[in-house]
Structure 1
């Protein structure tokens, strides 16, 4: 029997393989593998559940990542998945695998960040697990949320002529990581050197302490807008747009001159001799929300200061394209993070 390597099929290929064998045993399971969170319906409201694992050396580097920031980030990235379902987070569970090099005080510092995030997002830490680790620090957070059945938003429900929207700005977290990696190398070469972070604070903050966009979820509700599809941007804008379009059976056209980026992103990309467009489209870890809305909702969101309309959903046969200011259309490429192809 020929064995298939993880590198051959990649992370998302593995997920698709596992999805095929995940049969449902209970009527209460409304939606399983394939979206930002599972959906169960034990009562009047539906419950959404999501989990994320952060592994030392893969997702974070303690050389430059403070434990308090790491604890906050571990919660925020899970709350972001709940937000992407248009649901409200209510509880989290935190499991920890930790080695002997960590003191009690260090773990308390990590949980201080978790506590601060829980207070910010109004969620309860209701349990978890701890165990020893021989391969560094591992954090697993499971987030639980709730929503009325009619309010939940999936990835697979975008429609032709919907507007494609995004919150905030893009590319900052990726470039923040480049800065931190550069300063780490400088420190290893000369431990007496001080990090050069002047005018880079925003980018570093976006990498070390991202925020879940629950604020926008609440604001959309106040505006009377329900997205027709939604996903959070963890692996890069292009990659997430491919998820929405692939699962919805549609294409998309987004406009290059509408892509939102902070001035620090543009300047730092030039400093690192990187194409800022690549950082914006494929950087990842922004944890902004990518969503679609009906064309009739345009007037409700057009003046929102933190929502950018990028383009529109088109028929599947037109593909996924980036339209330049001159009107030329180029096929998008999804180059986001894939754990099994790095």
Structure 2
């Protein structure tokens, strides 16, 4: 039998391959594979369902990730998927795979972080599963939420001339990870050295404890704006822009000068001899919201704190970045590939 390596498909190629083999059997199943969450018709509203799995050695390193932060993050990244459909998360289930090196106290720490996240996002822990693991710690969270039928935002609804907006700032989580990895190497070389992360606390915090932007969902609702398309930024801005472009069948033009990058991110990029724009485009784990709105809705959101227009959708299929020099370059997805 011919063998095809997973990395020749990549994560999204594998998802597309799986998707083509299945069709929806039930009328309540409005949308299955292919967006931030599945959509189920419950009558008056849509129920949203999403799941994410975090594996030790792949998604996190316990050498520098506190267990409490890990518990919090495992919830936040799932709540973010519901927000990316313009919905509000309500319930979660948590399943954990535990190795024999985990103590009861360690598990308590994980669930303490989960508890904090449940309180912050007003979601209920309603179940889950526990099992042993021979390959380190595994955390899998499934989240459900709800959205009014006329408010749901898919990746596929953008139209030419829609304004492309992003929340928060970009690239910080990527440099937070670089700092933690650097300090780990310093510690391994000299265990007597203690890391001094105070000056980089903003960046490290963005990596260890990302926040799902549920506040923006409420802000948009108060402004009377329904995004024409939406996605959250987990694998990098470039990757998510391409998703919106591909699924909406439109092109994208964004502007380097409009990308929201914090000063500390700029300074740290110089320190690491890396481009802050490259980090913003490809770093990932920002968990900000990327969405499009009609031009007629811009005045309604232009004064909303933490929303930045960075470009617009075009009739061509090109996905391009306008540099500060005025020249254009094509955008390709170089972010996190889960199957490398």
Q: TM bucket by the smaller chain?
A: over 0.9
Contact 2:219 2:304 in 1 (8 A): no
Q: Does 1:328 align with 2:314?
A: no
Match runs of 1:129-278 below 5 Å: 129-278=129-278
SS at match of 1:313: strand
Q: Does 1:91 align with 2:85?
A: no
Determine the structure 2 residue equivalent to 1:122: 122
Shift of 1:334: 1.1
SS at match of 1:60: coil
Q: Does 1:26 align with 2:20?
A: no
Shift of 1:21: 0.9
SS at match of 2:199: coil
Determine the structure 2 residue equivalent to 1:57: 57
TM-score by length of 2: 0.99
CA distance in 2: counterparts of 1:8 and 1:321, whole angstroms:
25
SS at match of 2:273: coil
Post-superposition Cα deviations, 1:37-57, rounded to whole Å, max 9, x if no partner, equal 001113221100000000000
SS at match of 1:226: coil
RMSD of Structure 2 on Structure 1 (CA): 0.8
Shift of 1:339: 0.8
TM-score by length of 1: 0.98
Residue range with higher mean Cα deviation, 34-43 or 129-138:
34-43
CA distance in 1: counterparts of 2:324 and 2:233, whole angstroms:
24
Post-superposition Cα deviations, 1:62-89, rounded to whole Å, max 9, x if no partner, equal 0000000000000000000000000110
CA distance in 1: counterparts of 2:21 and 2:80, whole angstroms:
27
Q: Does 1:71 align with 2:63?
A: no
Determine the structure 1 residue equivalent to 2:16: 16
SS at match of 2:254: strand
Residue range with higher mean Cα deviation, 102-111 or 1-10:
1-10
CA distance in 2: counterparts of 1:265 and 1:325, whole angstroms:
18
Shift of 1:198: 3.0
SS at match of 2:270: helix
CA distance in 2: counterparts of 1:223 and 1:118, whole angstroms:
26
Post-superposition Cα deviations, 1:162-217, rounded to whole Å, max 9, x if no partner, equal 00000000000000000000000011111110102131000000000000000011
CA distance in 2: counterparts of 1:43 and 1:191, whole angstroms:
59
Shift of 1:306: 0.2
Match runs of 1:292-303 below 5 Å: 292-303=292-303
SS at match of 1:116: helix
Shift of 1:325: 2.6
Post-superposition Cα deviations, 1:247-304, rounded to whole Å, max 9, x if no partner, equal 0000010010000011111000110111111111111000000000000011111222
CA distance in 1: counterparts of 2:24 and 2:240, whole angstroms:
26
Shift of 1:5: 1.1
Shift of 1:90: 0.6
Contact 2:203 2:265 in 1 (8 A): yes
Contact 2:161 2:314 in 1 (8 A): yes
CA distance in 2: counterparts of 1:325 and 1:225, whole angstroms:
30
Shift of 1:305: 2.2
SS at match of 1:89: strand
**Which 5+ residue runs of structure 1 have no aligned equivalent?**
none
Determine the structure 1 residue equivalent to 2:337: 338
SS at match of 1:316: coil
SS at match of 1:150: coil
Shift of 1:316: 2.7
